[in-house]
A and B are shown apart, each in its own frame.
Chain A
């Protein structure tokens, strides 16, 4: 089926811009339009008109639209969802309010915890209990549920979430409760066993609440989008990209909109994975830096790492634990409040801090001269000479060096008695170090050494900071692809039709029962392939992963297992596979404890056509430079005469010696003094450490 999709369109709605990428038989057209908050679909339609005109095609010629959006994420962050009722197990009304009973910041006695998504008066307990083994301890109180349906109907709720204890082991009570409620209610009902069938009640209940909360709004939006696309003549199928990086149908997305959270960043990771495949790079760290946040993701063998839980809407300086946990399959990345708009300030210790507060697009950094008075990262980049004030965003926005300097001097330089340039260097160093720390911690969580990776950088601000980040991380090579500014939307075009189905089942390795596991895996395969079949009739590949640990541990590690029916005799193979992975993560296997399985996952996706493969060129012919500007060089701590080269003037095989700045419409690539840049056959810039 994929062969038929010769004209593909990707649409990524972000906080500031809606990015459109159109691929017509291998040729790429892209545009950015401002996101329209009251009618998000309008920006997509406007963007489609522009790229269709550029490509001389009509909307009806488009074979497939692939869409990702931050709308669900924003609804959660801004608390703009439906009035939602939570029906839960009696005795557990406050699970989403009591959280982990922990203060995420030890010393702040005025700490405020994020309020629960669904307030206490809208949480309704019902008798009925399943135990840890999935057996019924107490029957479901159906009478109370019938009465509850009336209450929910009368009180004007727009959605219902159902979350019962141990429903991931046995969903019968949740399913029956949905059945009873739906007889009297016409609003959408989400159950936790379907949305997030994983152990740990706080995470699972919160996930089903989040799903119910954004569901009416997302369903409305998606149906409006489909109607409007048809009206403009685009009759093609529309698919959504989900947080795990695969595609799902609009119908599935309308039912499980929580799966769309983080779909934009997931597109970025796929974009990087595609570049990694193109250059045959098996260990890659992707680095995506926009206006508000930076995202860092590990990509191994052209596959982004995945995780089963993450946190959205962090309320306290991006502090871990201050947001909402969402347990769904997700491309694992670390996101920190470090973007071009991040505000710099000085703390009580006289230390420079950067972010997470952002100047965003309004009022913007001081240098935009649109009312922003506090210094942002972009201001510091400008003062250091990394940006050309007359040629920012293709000359659309004129940047004021004086305003940037004034803001930096007032908020940072005067307080620390630093020159504006030293203060700007401090700001940029701090944000670069924050990103480097985040990258290191992320790597260690995955049992990896960051410096063994090649970086792929994209997003408006990343090329300005990538080289310095590489210096800090000990990374020797970094790629800056073409189209980096709309990387996520391009990534959508490369996304496979994929789905990951999960089920928890705790079982000791010594008691491994192949019959039970095979039956469970068959169910998971059916579920996963069912989703994939909605989008493709081509070949499907599957990956089987067991999440395993030593009995007594709480953190499972993913162990890849062969895709075949298991026999009881496979124990030794599984034990060896686990111990090998464990040693990779933590140094040495532990002697003594029993090994156990906790969760099984089946990932199914269609087989993508092999793209063009290129060899990475690290050598090239030195080019002469047309102009010179003074730019601060962090490695030497001095301002250096720096070559300025337009990207379009460079061609394959050219080598530019650092320090240099390669300028283009949306951004500039900084080549610091320890690096050179070599242009690849597809126009990608390779930053390579001198002498590497």
Chain B
């Protein structure tokens, strides 16, 4: 009965998604870095034997998911089939073959059913340290940014590569945490594999072929239906971002044809001397994410839904070549969705949200006792988000990560990881761009070293010189700022110092508004005032 068969396939598709969800959950539960365990900077997915992604965990962030979709193909190309054994786990942090910077560790494990290689499990997580200069934009080449792990075996037939662990232990600042995270990545693939085999045994399948074909063909048909509903043509957009020490132009042309959507980034600025360059694999990930949000938000993400999107670029800041420094590639990379959405707004007028803060405001803090004092040294990483652009029909979300899919860390957890005090972390009034629909608010953060301590921090901020733009008559969001509490201005990128007794004050950008402010309803205006989102003496 083919009806029943159809339903069985649907059910197994759901099951496969729950398999990768279990995989991601295992990683969250066992991870050491706060970026993974509190903030969810990770992803997990399952692939067929050809390396096509069949399902991804809902938990995770686009910069990892969509890069990993391509990364698995690099692993297959490097490791010959005859060298793959049950119990193997492969690893890399190659920015051009993984997820764009050395801090992300990607692990891929082959899944065998008996003798047959039926697929792969892959996962990625951001670890706290990879040596080198530390997480920041100051490196002049990738060689300064930390240890590079080529695609290689982390474990063969279940036995961990001890030599790799020895080299790692000597090259990173927090060896216990980093090696602990390597183990949790491997463990999470193992859990995925076990569950997959249980599922196949239960339904009596020898491999993933039938189910994989079902998933990919269904997804392809549904995605093409959406493409058919889009206007055809080409639209372009430009945007300025702060850069390291001078503004950098980003440019994109989006063309929609009957067979898919192409995005080309020709016209974007040249590669930077600083570590804000983006490998194409990461640019692609965020371009595809933006397209998917508009074209097919409810279609599960897999190789077939990604295949209709084609991304290209000549060599430039969005297609940086080895050995460019790429440590904070996420700052420019997170701008890619706003860039692409701006072009789509011309194709689909009135349907696309305004620009927002986009890039996460990540801070890496290296805190130590003042000279001659006693106290603690620690590395503290925080993810913080500004406002999202206003949507057609809805205000922007305040202090919410977009396009990134991460969380912030609780302040109480952060203060336990090192001797710092966060004196303020709250919404920033008057930062949302005015409009019929208001941009989301940014936030204000004040951080001081604990008494008797001082710290250096790595700034990875943007939208200070170039605020998020409103759409369709909406006003720009407020630009961000970084300073000390005595008024000293700080740079948006690079390592800088906060002496004992001073506070670092960060004002995160608000999102742009949508539609003319004159059209904002009086109820919405009154609520802005009563809640203090907007103050009278603006």
Give chain A's interface residues, CB within 8 Å of chain B: 90-95, 97-98, 100-103, 106-113, 119-121, 129, 131-132, 137, 165-166, 199-202, 347-352, 416, 418-419, 422, 425-426, 429-430, 433-434, 437, 440-441, 444-445, 472, 474, 506, 550-555, 585-588, 590, 592-594, 637-638
Q: CB-CB < 8 A to A108: which residues of B?
A: 293, 297
Q: CB-CB < 8 A to B397: which residues of A?
A: 103, 111, 113
How far, in angstroms, from A586 to B187 measured CA to CA in the complex? 7
Q: Can you spell out 19 A-B residue pairs with CB atoms less than 8 angstroms apart?
A: A91-B422, A92-B426, A98-B398, A98-B443, A101-B384, A101-B385, A112-B394, A429-B8, A433-B11, A433-B14, A434-B14, A440-B18, A445-B29, A474-B198, A552-B176, A590-B179, A590-B180, A593-B176, A638-B1
Question: CB distance B407 to A131 under 8 Å?
Answer: no
Question: In this assembly, does B33 line the interface, its C-beta being within 8 Å of a C-beta of chain A?
Answer: yes
- Contacting residues of chain B (486-505) with chain A, CB-CB under 8 angstroms: none
Q: A121 touches which one: B393, B399, B443, B530 (CB < 8 A)? A: B530
Q: CB-CB < 8 A to B394: which residues of A?
A: 110, 112
List the B residue with the shortest CB-CB distance to A106.
B405
- Contacting residues of chain B (24-62) with chain A, CB-CB under 8 angstroms: 25-26, 28-34, 37-38, 40, 58, 62
Question: CB distance B31 to A553 under 8 Å?
Answer: yes
Binds A, one of B137-145, B318-326, B413-421: B413-421
Question: In this assembly, does B191 line the interface, its C-beta being within 8 Å of a C-beta of chain A?
Answer: yes
Given A98-B426, A553-B30, A555-B29, answer yes or no on A444-B398 (Cβ-Cβ < 8 Å): no
Within the complex, what minimum Cβ distance (angstroms) separates B124 from chain A?
16
Question: CB distance B22 to A593 under 8 Å?
Answer: no
List the A residue with the shortest CB-CB distance to B226.
A348
Given contacts A107-B293, A440-B195, A552-B32, 13 further A-B contacts (CB under 8 A): A92-B424, A93-B427, A107-B301, A109-B391, A110-B391, A119-B531, A121-B532, A349-B300, A351-B13, A429-B8, A441-B21, A444-B22, A555-B29
Question: CB distance B191 to A202 under 8 Å?
Answer: no
Most buried by A among B28, B38, B191, B400: B400
How far, in angstroms, from A110 to B10 measured CA to CA in the complex? 27
Given A98-B399, A199-B412, A426-B7, answer yes or no on A107-B297 (Cβ-Cβ < 8 Å): yes
List the A residue with the shortest CB-CB distance to B408.
A101
Question: CB distance A444 to B25 under 8 Å?
Answer: yes
Within the complex, what minimum Cβ distance (angstroms) separates A39 from chain B?
35
Q: CB-CB < 8 A to B446: which residues of A?
A: 91
- Contacting residues of chain B (252-299) with chain A, CB-CB under 8 angstroms: 292-294, 297-299
Q: CB-CB < 8 A to A416: which residues of B?
A: 6
How far, in angstroms, from A133 to B236 measured CA to CA in the complex? 54
List the A residue with the shortest CB-CB distance to B222.
A349
Given A103-B405, A120-B531, answer yes or no on A593-B412 (Cβ-Cβ < 8 Å): no
Q: B191 touches which one: A106, A444, A550 (CB < 8 A)? A: A444
Q: B3 touches which one: A97, A349, A422, A586 (CB < 8 A)? A: A422
How far, in angstroms, from A433 to B14 measured CA to CA in the complex? 8
Question: In this assembly, does B367 line the interface, its C-beta being within 8 Å of a C-beta of chain A?
Answer: no
Q: CB-CB < 8 A to B29: which residues of A?
A: 445, 555, 585-586
Within the complex, what minimum Cβ distance (angstroms) separates A325 from chain B?
11
Question: CB distance B32 to A347 under 8 Å?
Answer: no
List the B residue with the shortest CB-CB distance to A444.
B22
Q: B393 touches which one: A110, A506, A590, A593 (CB < 8 A)? A: A110
Question: CB distance A109 to B26 under 8 Å?
Answer: no
How far, in angstroms, from A592 to B166 measured CA to CA in the complex? 12
Given A91-B446, A109-B293, A553-B31, answer yes or no on A100-B407 (Cβ-Cβ < 8 Å): yes
Q: CB-CB < 8 A to B190: which residues of A?
A: 587
List the A residue with the shortest CB-CB distance to B298.
A348
Question: CB distance A129 to B423 under 8 Å?
Answer: yes
Q: A91 touches which one: B13, B18, B426 (CB < 8 A)? A: B426
Q: CB-CB < 8 A to A93: which residues of B?
A: 426-427
Question: CB distance A103 to B412 under 8 Å?
Answer: no
The 5 closest A-B pairs by CB, nearest first: A91-B424, A554-B37, A107-B297, A422-B3, A552-B32
Question: CB distance A91 to B425 under 8 Å?
Answer: yes
Q: CB-CB < 8 A to A113: which residues of B?
A: 397, 400
Question: CB distance A131 to B450 under 8 Å?
Answer: yes
Question: CB distance A348 to B222 under 8 Å?
Answer: yes
- Contacting residues of chain B (290-320) with chain A, CB-CB under 8 angstroms: 292-294, 297-301
Question: In this assembly, does B461 line the interface, its C-beta being within 8 Å of a C-beta of chain A?
Answer: no
Q: CB-CB < 8 A to A474: which residues of B?
A: 198, 202
Q: CB-CB < 8 A to A100: which residues of B?
A: 407-408
Within the complex, what minimum Cβ distance (angstroms) separates A423 from chain B?
8
Question: In this assembly, does B170 line the interface, its C-beta being within 8 Å of a C-beta of chain A?
Answer: no
Q: Indicate with 1 or 0, residue by residue over B415-446, a CB within 8 angstroms of chain A CB atoms.
A: 11000011111110000000000000001001
Within the complex, what minimum Cβ distance (angstroms) separates A84 from chain B?
16
Q: CB-CB < 8 A to A109: which residues of B?
A: 293-294, 297, 353, 391
Question: CB distance A552 to B183 under 8 Å?
Answer: no
Given A200-B413, A555-B37, answer yes or no on A430-B10 (Cβ-Cβ < 8 Å): yes
Question: CB distance B10 to A352 under 8 Å?
Answer: yes
How far, in angstroms, from A100 to B409 measured CA to CA in the complex? 7
Question: CB distance A103 to B400 under 8 Å?
Answer: yes
Q: CB-CB < 8 A to A433: which residues of B?
A: 11, 14-15
Within the complex, what minimum Cβ distance (angstroms) separates B503 from chain A?
11
Question: CB distance B10 to A94 under 8 Å?
Answer: no
Q: CB-CB < 8 A to A587: which residues of B?
A: 187, 190-191
List the B residue with the shortest CB-CB distance to A93.
B426
Question: CB distance A202 to B410 under 8 Å?
Answer: yes
Question: CB distance B402 to A592 under 8 Å?
Answer: no
Within the complex, what minimum Cβ distance (angstroms) separates A173 from chain B?
15
Within the complex, what minimum Cβ distance (angstroms) separates A3 from chain B?
44
Given A94-B427, A120-B531, answer yes or no on A554-B180 (Cβ-Cβ < 8 Å): no
How far, in angstroms, from A637 to B533 measured CA to CA in the complex? 58
Q: CB-CB < 8 A to A429: which residues of B?
A: 7-8, 11
Q: CB-CB < 8 A to B148: which residues of A?
A: none
Given A349-B222, A441-B22, answer yes or no on A430-B11 (Cβ-Cβ < 8 Å): yes
How far, in angstroms, from A112 to B437 measured CA to CA in the complex? 14
How far, in angstroms, from A202 to B409 measured CA to CA in the complex? 10
Question: CB distance B187 to A199 under 8 Å?
Answer: no
Question: In this assembly, does B218 line the interface, its C-beta being within 8 Å of a C-beta of chain A?
Answer: yes
How far, in angstroms, from A232 to B124 measured CA to CA in the complex? 64
Question: In this assembly, does B4 line the interface, its C-beta being within 8 Å of a C-beta of chain A?
Answer: yes
Q: CB-CB < 8 A to A199: which residues of B?
A: 410, 412-413, 416
How far, in angstroms, from A129 to B503 measured CA to CA in the complex? 15
Within the complex, what minimum Cβ distance (angstroms) separates A635 from chain B?
11
How far, in angstroms, from A166 to B37 measured CA to CA in the complex? 20
How far, in angstroms, from A593 to B15 measured CA to CA in the complex? 35
Within the complex, what minimum Cβ distance (angstroms) separates A502 from chain B?
15
Question: CB distance A441 to B426 under 8 Å?
Answer: no
Q: CB-CB < 8 A to A440: which residues of B?
A: 18, 22, 195
Q: A201 touches which one: B10, B21, B22, B410 (CB < 8 A)? A: B410
Q: CB-CB < 8 A to B14: which residues of A?
A: 430, 433-434, 437
Q: Indicate with 1 or 0, residue by residue over B525-538, a CB within 8 angstroms of chain A CB atoms.
A: 00000111100000
Within the complex, what minimum Cβ distance (angstroms) separates B248 from chain A?
26
How far, in angstroms, from A350 to B412 measured CA to CA in the complex? 45
How far, in angstroms, from A425 to B332 measured CA to CA in the complex? 49
Question: In this assembly, does B401 line the interface, its C-beta being within 8 Å of a C-beta of chain A?
Answer: yes
How far, in angstroms, from A109 to B11 measured CA to CA in the complex? 27
Question: CB distance B532 to A506 under 8 Å?
Answer: no
Q: CB-CB < 8 A to B294: which residues of A?
A: 109
Q: CB-CB < 8 A to B391: which residues of A?
A: 109-110
How far, in angstroms, from A416 to B2 measured CA to CA in the complex? 12
Question: In this assembly, does B460 line the interface, its C-beta being within 8 Å of a C-beta of chain A?
Answer: no
Question: CB distance A101 to B34 under 8 Å?
Answer: no
List the B residue with the shortest CB-CB distance to A589.
B183
Q: CB-CB < 8 A to B58: which residues of A?
A: 106
Q: CB-CB < 8 A to B28: which residues of A?
A: 555
Question: CB distance A107 to B292 under 8 Å?
Answer: yes
Question: In this assembly, does B411 line the interface, its C-beta being within 8 Å of a C-beta of chain A?
Answer: yes
List the A residue with the shortest CB-CB distance to B411.
A201
Question: CB distance B32 to A550 under 8 Å?
Answer: yes
Q: CB-CB < 8 A to A111: which residues of B?
A: 397
